[in-house]
Amino acid sequence: MSFNRRNFIRSASLLAALTAGEIKSWAASSAQVTADGKDIPADDEAFWRSVRAMFPLSKDLTYLNNGTFGPSPYPVIEATRNGMMENDTHGQYGNWDKTAQRLAKFVGADEEEIVLTHNVTDGINIGCWGIPLQKGDEVIITTHEHMGNAMPWMNRQKLHGIVIKKYTPASTAAETLNRINALITKKTRAIATPHIPCTQGQIIPIKEVCKLARDKGIFSIIDGAHGPGMIHLDLHDMGCDTYATCSHKWMLGPKGTGFLYVRKDFQDTLQPYTVGAGSGNDKWDLMTDPVTLGGYTPNAHRYYAGTQSNGLYTGVIAAIDFIEGLGAENVYNRVKYLGKYTQDRLLSFGDKIELLTPTEERSRAGVNGFRIKGMEYSKFYSMCSENKIRIRGVNENGLNSLRVSTHIYNSPEEVEQLMEVVKKAVA
Ligand SMILES: Cc1ncc(COP(=O)(O)O)c(C=O)c1O
């Protein structure tokens, strides 16, 4: 593990934000947690408890809302601080391409296909605005969008007259694919679906969707907010044109760090709009008349420009180190295990609970959507808040449901705390 605990403990400003108990338990733990290349059973609670000790996440709160953001462990926080110090003590500038390199490897892409962004929404907008669309062209999205993947397309509808078609994700991957297929017409230009919708977390069969799109000459512009860190990703194998995502959810990285994949051969189709230092080649010239643009950088750097944060991007590398130190497959298995544990417990309430996330093996991982029969989502959400349990209410598009999302720092005991509230709600 590459972080230096002693240096971290000396960092008064960060320590000020932690309680004495938190510092003590972390410092006292033998929490140099790595898997040393071994397979760790998903239900090895002793191991996962030692992992939990590496997170400053308050024990006064049962945080079951990783889908909104993933709390960072200490090594990521320390690396972020160290990255800032490097900037501010040595005038270090640039060098953030090494983050693009690590991200590329982590998601099965090449460095020149990675755009550094600040969140998922940035990447979605680059994809949405960069594809050539005219009035009447059709784009397929879901009825389960986060605003981040709804607003950009709705804005193009308003400004450019594109037509938005919608499908509702089904309870099986095969049926979801059928629904998308049924929406395709001669005017379909893009499938802009989430890989894993924020509402219920069902995994859309994205490789098949991208193949369908490619076979019909349709762009695949994927919202991948919940992909990296939750499930294994190989973007080359997936075959999408763009994949917008972030490091601040399931990768447990610093908040305000995102990235976008743009397939190499797609870069001459996807027009860059937000450009500046870093996105052009060195042939630009203001002394000619007319002035000379020169050309775009011959890789995905054409889509981002200007000063980036050394601190945040050092933290992103530490987040990848952290996951890989635990063994990425161990992490994905633990996430899936807790997701299934939550599903089974919700299902045990029979018809008093409506589980909205598919039970199909390939369509589920760390997020579960549900409704308490006959109860407004906001009432149950308040009951959880009273018990210091953080989940998410899903009020988008009248869905009136709840979402629980669990990561490696959670435990079956914490899921049981939620179930105690469910018991009261259905009594
Ligand atoms: C599916 C989905 N898309 C997009 C976003 C927007 O992400 P960000 O806040 O990083 O822009 C989210 C955030 O929760 C999301 O869940």
Residue 308 pLDDT grade (very low, low, confident, very high; cuts 50, 70, 90): very high
Interacting residues of 261 by C-beta distance below 8 A, sequence separation 6+: 107, 109, 113, 114, 115, 224, 235, 240, 242, 243, 244, 245, 300
- Residues 165-181 pLDDT 10s: 999 999 999 999 999 99
Atom of ligand 1 nearest to the CA of 246: 10
* Residue 345: predicted pLDDT: 98
In this prediction, residue 7 has a pLDDT band, given cuts at 50, 70 and 90, of very low
Residue nearest to atom 14 of ligand 1 (CA): 68
How many Å lie between the centroid of ligand 1 and the Cα of residue 73?
21
Strand, coil or helix: 53: coil
pLDDT recorded at residue 326: 97
Distance in angstroms (rounded) separating the CA atoms of residues 139 and 221 = 10
**CA–centroid distance, residue 336 to ligand 1 (Å):** 21
Average pLDDT over residues 61-75: 97
Specify which residues 389 forms β-bridges with: 62
How many angstroms separate the alpha carbon of residue 238 from the centre of ligand 1?
20
Full 3-state SS string of 199-256: CCCCCCCHHHHHHHHHHCCCEEEEECCCCECCECCCHHHHCCCEEEEECCCCCCCCCC
**Separation between Cα atoms, residue 159 and residue 3, nearest integer Å:** 49
**Best of 69, 121, 145 to mutate for ligand 1, by most ligand atoms within 8 A of CB?**
121
Distance from the alpha carbon of residue 68 to the mean position of ligand 1, in angstroms? 8
Q: Please give the distance, rounded to the nearest whole angstrom, from the Cα atom of residue 318 to the centre of ligand 1.
A: 22
Q: List all residues whose CB is within 6 A of at least one atom of ligand 1.
A: 68, 119-121, 146, 148-149, 194, 197-198, 223, 225, 246, 258
Q: How far is the CA of 357 from the centre of ligand 1 (A)?
A: 18
- Confidence category of residue 21, pLDDT binned at 50, 70, 90: low
Q: What is the pLDDT of residue 130?
A: 98
Indicate the SS3 state at residue 28. helix
d(CA 400, CA 383): 15
Mean pLDDT, all residues of the chain: 93
SS3 state at 161 = coil
Residue 348 CA to ligand 1 centre (angstroms): 31
CA 62 – CA 59 distance, rounded (Å)? 7
**If you classify domain 97-321 with CATH, what class do you get?**
alpha beta
For residues 216-224, give the mean pLDDT. Answer: 98
Cβ(381)–Cβ(370) below 8 Å: no
Nearest CA to 87 out of 310, 318, 315 is that of 310
Provide mean pLDDT across the span 333-349: 98
Band of pLDDT at residue 120, cut at 50, 70 and 90: very high
Whether the per-residue pLDDT at 135 is higher than 60: the answer is yes
State the pTM of this model: 0.93
Residue 2 has pLDDT above 80, yes or no: no
Residue 289 pLDDT greater than 80, yes or no:
yes
**Average pLDDT of span 409-424:** 98
- Ligand 1 pocket test, candidate residues 69, 198, 312, most atoms within 8 A of CB: 198
Confidence grade of residue 29 (pLDDT, cut at 50, 70, 90)? very low
Mean pLDDT calculated for residue range 336-347: 98
